Structure 1
Amino acid sequence: MNSTQGGPRESDVTATPAARATPATPRRPHAPDRRPRTSARPGPPRPAPAPSAAARDALTLLALPLLAALALPAAFAGGGTRRWFGGRADSQRAEAQAAKDAAAAAFYELDTAQRDLRISVETITAVDDSPAARRAVADFEALGRRVDEASGRYITAVDAQDLDRDDLEASAAARARTDLVAAKDELANVKRELDRFAAGLEPLLGKAETQLARLAPAVERARQALLAASNALDAVRASGLAADDLAARLAALSPELTKLNQGAGQHGAQPTLERAERVAREAAAIAAEAGRLPERAAEIDHRLVSLRTRAQALTTRAGQVEPVLSELRRRFTAACWQDLQEVPRQAADTVRQAELKLKDARAARDAQRWPDATALLATARALLNTTDEAVSAAGDRLARLNAVQKDPQGEIEKTRFAIRDAQRLAMTGRTTPDPRHARPLDEAVARLERAVEGLTGRHPDYWHFLTETEAVRSAVARVVARIREERGAGH
C-alpha cells in the first residue's frame, strides 16, 4: 500500500517483531532519584512517565490491525477490486476489455435480430405454405447455423482469457483483444446477413400479417353469427314452431366453434380463417331461414288452401269436357278431336293424384317438415297444371275450329304475309336470292298451297289445316332469323 493513504510504512509491515523490540541505540542506565523526599501530604499529580522503547514497539504491533482496517476503505475508494500495475499490461488489458464490451454489444444485437426474425418466419409459416414460404424457412435455418457458429466463436474468445486476473500478461491481453475483435466482426457480418434476409421477407410478411389481421375479426364474426342464429331459433320456438332441421344444422356447427376457440396456433391461421368464414356463412343462413320461417309457414298454409280450391275447380271443369267433345264429334271429322278422347278420364285421375299430394303436404306442414311440405305442394301444382292444360285444350280446339270454319281466309292471309315478308328480306341488297334462303321459302309456299287445297270437299280437316299453317309460319320464322344472324355477323 501507499504510505500516503494513512497505512504503516513498508519497513514497519515487513520487519519482524524481534527486530522491532530491539532499540536502535543502547539505553543509558537509569539515574537514581536525587530529589528530597517530602511528607506524604497530597499535592498536584506528577506527569506519567514516558513509555519505554519496548512499550512503544508493542503498541505499534497492537495498532497494526486497526490501521489496516482504517486503510481498507481508502484502498477501495477508486471503485474497483482490480489491482493495476500500470504500464503496457494495463493498456493491453483496457483495450481487451473494450473489445470484449464491443463484442458483447454485437452479440446482443445479433441475438435480438435473430429473435425478431424468428417471429417473422413463424408468422409467415402460420398462414403461408407456398414454395416461397418453405424456401424462406430453409434459408432461415441456414442463417441460424451461421448465427450459432459466430456465437460459438464469441463465447470461445470470451472464455479464453480472464481479463480480471491480477497477473494477466500483456501478450495474453493482446491475444484476447485480437480474438474478441474478430468475433465482434463476425457477429456484425452475420447481423448484416440477417438484415438482408429480413428485407427480402417483407412481401411474404406483409401478406401474412394481412391475413392474420383478418383472422381475429373473422373469428369474432363467426361467433356473433352463431349467437344470432341461436337467438333466431329461440324466437321461432317461442312462436310455436319447432324448427328441428335448423336446430340440427346449428348443432352441427358446434365442433367448428370448438376449433375456432382453440385458435390458429393449434389449427393454423389459413384453415382457421376459412373455418370462420364458413361458419359465419352457415350461421347467417340458419338465422335468415329461422327469420323467414313464420312467413314460410303462412305461405305454405296459403298455398294449401289455394291449390285445394283449384283442384275443386278443375274437377268441375273436367266434367264440362265431355259436352265439348260431343260437339266436336258432331261437327268435325275424327282427326279434329280424336286426340282429345282421353281428356276427361285423365283429368279426373290427375286431379285425384293432386289431392292426395295436398293431403300429404298438409300432414308435413302439421309436423313442421317444411322441405317435405314444399316439395309436395310443388308436385301437386304440377299435376294441376297438366290437368288445366288438358281441360283447356278441348275448349280451345273447339273455338279455333269454329273460327277457321267460319273464315279460313284469315289464317291463309296471315301465313302468306309471313312468307312475303321473309322473301323481301332475302332479296334486300341482292339481285338473286341466296339458295339457302330461297329453297325453304319456296317449300313454305308449296306447303301452304297444299293446306288450302285440303279445305275443299264436303268434310275438310280443319285441324290439319291449322297445324299446317302454324308449321309453315314456324319454318319461315327460322329462315328470317338465319338471314338476320348472317348479316349481323357480316356487318
Structure 2
Amino acid sequence: MTATPGTPATRPYPPPSTARARHGSAPPRGALRDALTLMSLPVLAALALPAAFAGGGTRRWFGGRADGRRADAQAAKDAAAAAFYELDTAQRDLRISIETITAVDDSPAARRAVSDFEALGRRIDEASGQYIQAVDAHDLDRDDLEAGTAARARAELTAARDELVRVRQDLERFGTSLGPLLGTAETALARLAPAVERARQSLLAASNALDAVRGHGLRADELAARLAALSPDLTRLNQGAGQHGVAPTLERAERVQREAGAIRAEAERLPEKAAEIDHRLVSLRTRAQALTTRAGQVQPVLSELRRRFAATCWQDLQHVPEQAAESVRQAELKLREAQAARDAQRWPDATSLLSTVRALLNTTDDAVSAAGDRLTRLNAVQKDPHQEIERTRFAIRDAQRLAMTGRTTPDPRDARPLDDAVARLERAIGTLEGRHPDYWHFLTETDAVRQAAARVVSRIREERGTGH
C-alpha cells in the first residue's frame, strides 16, 4: 500500500510490548474500551439470568430448594401409590371372603355384610378417584415445575394417601367383624366335598344291596322305586355347588345320604323281614286255631254263671261266643290276604295285615279270657268275701296313714275322698246280704274304692316329691 504526501502513513499497530513502552502505564484507547466492556458484564449478566432460566428450566433458578420440594412431592406420590395398592389388595381379599359367605349363607347377617361391603366399595371408589385425580393433575417430571405447584401436589397426594389409609383401616375392621360368618361358611365349604362323596357312596351301596336282595329271589320293588327317585338329586350333585349353591347342595347331599342309607338298611334286612313275616303267618294262624277251640269253651262257662249267680254277674258276657267266632273268622280272612301280599312281595301290605290280625286275636283272647276270669273271681268272693273286704280296707288305711304323716289334721283334699271310699265300701258290703247277692257289683265297687285310695296316694307323693 503507497503513502500520500502530507498525510500520515498508514501502518500496523505496534505489538503490545512496544505500545506499553511508548505510552508508559496508560493503556491505549482500545484497551480502555475493552476494560469498560468487561466492567459492564456483571450487570448485563444479572439482567440476562431470568431469560436464561426461562429458556433452560427453573431447576437452575431454585437450586436445592426446588429439588427438595420436587422430591417431597414425589415421595408423597409414592406413598399414595403404595396406599392405593394396599387398599386394592385388601379389597380383593375381602371380596373373596364376601363371596365365600354369600355362597353358603343367606341369613340376614350375611345380607347385611354384603350391603356393608358395597357401601365400603363406594368409599373405596371415592378415595381412589381422589388419588387418581391428584396424580393426573401434576406432572412432577416437568423441568419448569414451580415450587408452589410442587407444594400443592405434595399436599393433595398426601391427603389422598391419608384417605386411602383410613378407608383401608375401615375395611380391615369390617373384615375382622366377618370372622364368625366367614368361619361358618368355610366350615360348610370344607364339609361340601366329603358330603357329596358320602352321598355318592351311599347310593352305590344301596344299589349293591338291592342287587344282592334280587339274588335271593326278592324283588324289592318299593325300595327300587325309592332309589330311582333319588336320581334327579344325584344329577344335581354332579352338576356341583356352582350351579345350585353351596347350602342347597350340602343339604341335598346329606338328605340323599340319609335316604340311600335307609334304603340300604331295609334292603339288607329284607331277607330277615321275609322270614319274620313267614314266621308270623304261621304263629298267628296257629293262634287263631287255638282261639277257635277256646271260644267253644265259653258257652259252658256262661251256663255255670247263669245257674249260680244273679243275671247282673254275667249279662255282659252272653254275646262273647258269637263275637269270638266272628273275630276269629275275620282274622283268618286277613291272614289269607297277608299270605297273598307276602307271595306278591308287597311287604308293607303284608305287615299291615298281620298287625290287623294280631289286634283281632288280642280282642278275642281278652273276651274269651274274661268269661273264665269272671267265674274264678265270683267263686272266690262267694266262698270268702272277707278277703276282698280286708284287701280294700288295707288300701284305705294305707292312704290314711300317708295323708296324716307330718300333719295333725288331714288335708281336706285327702280326707274327703278317703271318707267317701270308706262309706262306699260299707255300702258294697251291704249288698252281700240277701239270698242272691250281686257279687259282681261288690267286686266292681271294691275295685273302684281301691282306685280312689290309690289316686290319693299318688297325689300326696307327687306333691311331696316336688316340695309343695
TM-score by shorter chain over 0.5? yes
Candidates 416, 419, 431, aligned match of 1:454: 431
Structure-2 change in CA distance of 1:151 and 1:340 (3 Å) = same
Alpha-carbon distance in structure 2 between the residues aligned to 1:378 and 1:100: 88
- Residue in structure 2 matched with residue 116 of structure 1 by the alignment: 93
Distance 1:281 1:266 in 2: 23
Match of 1:371 among 333, 348, 358: 348
Q: Deviations over 1:101-128 (max 9, x none)?
A: 5544443332222211111111122222
Counterpart contact for 1:350–1:384, Cα < 8 Å: yes
AA in 2 matched with 1:204? L
Q: Given the superposition, is the C-alpha separation of residues 356 and 181 from structure 1 closer, same or farther in structure 2, using an over 3 Å criterion?
A: same
> 1:343 and 2:303 equivalent?
no
User: Are residues 1:284 and 2:261 paired?
Assistant: yes
Give the counterpart of 1:236 among 210, 213, 217: 213
What amino acid maps onto 1:120 in structure 2? S
What is the deviation of 1:318? 0.8
Does residue 140 of the first structure (1) align with residue 114 of the second (2)? Answer: no
Relative to structure 1, the CA distance from residue 454 to residue 245 in structure 2 (aligned partners, 3 Å threshold; closer, same or farther) is same
Structure-2 separation of matches of 1:90 and 1:117: 40
For residues 197-346 of structure 1, the aligned pairs below 5 Å read 197-346=174-323
Partners of 2:75 and 2:404 lie apart in 1 by 105
Q: What whole-Å deviation, never above 9, does each CA across 1:251-304 have from its counterpart, x for those lacking one?
A: 222222222233333333222222222222222222211221111111111111
Mark the runs of 5 or more structure 1 residues left unpaired by the alignment: 1-83
Mapped partners of 2:405, 2:178: distance in 1: 69
**Contact 2:209–2:264 (CA under 8 A) maintained in structure 1:** yes
Question: Which sits farther off after the overlay, 91-100 or 274-283?
Answer: 91-100
CA distance, structure 1, for counterparts of residue 461 and residue 124 of structure 2: 77
CA distance change for structure 1 residues 310 and 178 in 2, over 3 Å: closer, same or farther? same
Aligned to 1:409: 386
Query: C-alpha separation between the residues in 1 aligned to 2:421 and 2:69?
Result: 118
The answer to whether residue 146 in structure 2 is matched with residue 171 in structure 1 is yes
**Can you give the 5+ residue segments of structure 2 that lack an aligned partner in the other structure?**
1-56
Query: How far apart, in 2, do the equivalents of 1:435 and 1:146 lie?
Result: 78
* Partners of 1:100 and 1:177 within 8 A in 2: yes
Contact 1:92 1:170 in 2 (8 A): no
SS at the partner of 1:457? coil
Q: CA deviation at 1:224?
A: 2.2
Distance 2:200 2:340 in 1: 36
* Letter paired with 2:453: V
- Is 2:170 aligned against 1:193? yes
Conserved 8 A contact 2:127-2:164: yes
- Match of residue 425 from structure 1: 402
Q: 1:170 to 1:235 in 2, by over 3 A?
A: same
Give the SS at the match of 1:170: coil
Structure 1 residues 106 and 386, CA gap change in structure 2 (3 angstroms): same
Q: Distance in 2 between matches of 1:372 and 1:411?
A: 48
State the Cα distance separating 1:374 from its structure 2 match. 0.9
User: Counterpart in 2 of 1:355?
Assistant: 332
State the secondary structure of the residue aligned to 1:242: coil
Structure 1 residues 397 and 104, CA gap change in structure 2 (3 angstroms): same
| TM-score normalised by length of structure 1 | 0.74
Distance 1:426 1:181 in 2: 91
Q: Deviations over 1:42-82 (max 9, x none)?
A: xxxxxxxxxxxxxxxxxxxxxxxxxxxxxxxxxxxxxxxxx
Q: Deviations over 1:1-33 (max 9, x none)?
A: xxxxxxxxxxxxxxxxxxxxxxxxxxxxxxxxx
Quote the Cα distance in structure 2 between the aligned partners of 1:272 and 1:460: 77
Q: Compared with structure 1, are the counterparts of its residues 311 and 103 closer, same or farther at alpha carbon in structure 2 (3 Å cutoff)?
A: same
Say whether the 8 Å CA contact 1:426–1:437 is kept in structure 2.
Answer: yes
Give yes or no for contact 1:250–1:286 (8 Å, CA) kept in 2.
yes
Partner of 1:128: 105
Q: By how many angstroms is 1:205 displaced?
A: 2.0
The answer (yes or no) to whether the contact 2:58–2:144 under 8 Å persists in 1 is no
Q: How does 1:51-66 map to 2 (within 5 A)?
A: none
User: How many residue pairs are counted as aligned between the two chains?
Assistant: 407
Cα distance, 1:433–1:122 mapped onto 2, change above 3 Å: closer
Q: Distance in 1 between the 2:172 and 2:123 partners?
A: 13
Mean alpha-carbon deviation: is it higher for 259-268 or for 174-183?
Answer: 174-183
- Distance in 2 of aligned mates of 1:269 and 1:247: 29
State percent identity of aligned pairs: 81
TM-score, L = length of structure 2: 0.78
What per-residue deviation string (whole Å, max 9, x for no partner) do you get for residues 350-371 of structure 1? 0000111111111111121111
Q: Is the 1:419–1:445 contact (alpha carbons within 8 Å) kept by the matching residues of 2? A: yes
* Contact 1:333–1:460 (CA under 8 A) maintained in structure 2: yes
Q: Distance in 1 between matches of 2:395 and 2:76?
A: 106
- Judge conservation of contact 1:347–1:390 (CA < 8 Å) in 2: yes
Q: Following TM superposition, by how much is the alpha carbon of 1:206 offset from its aligned partner in structure 2, in angstroms? A: 2.4
Shift of 1:308: 0.5
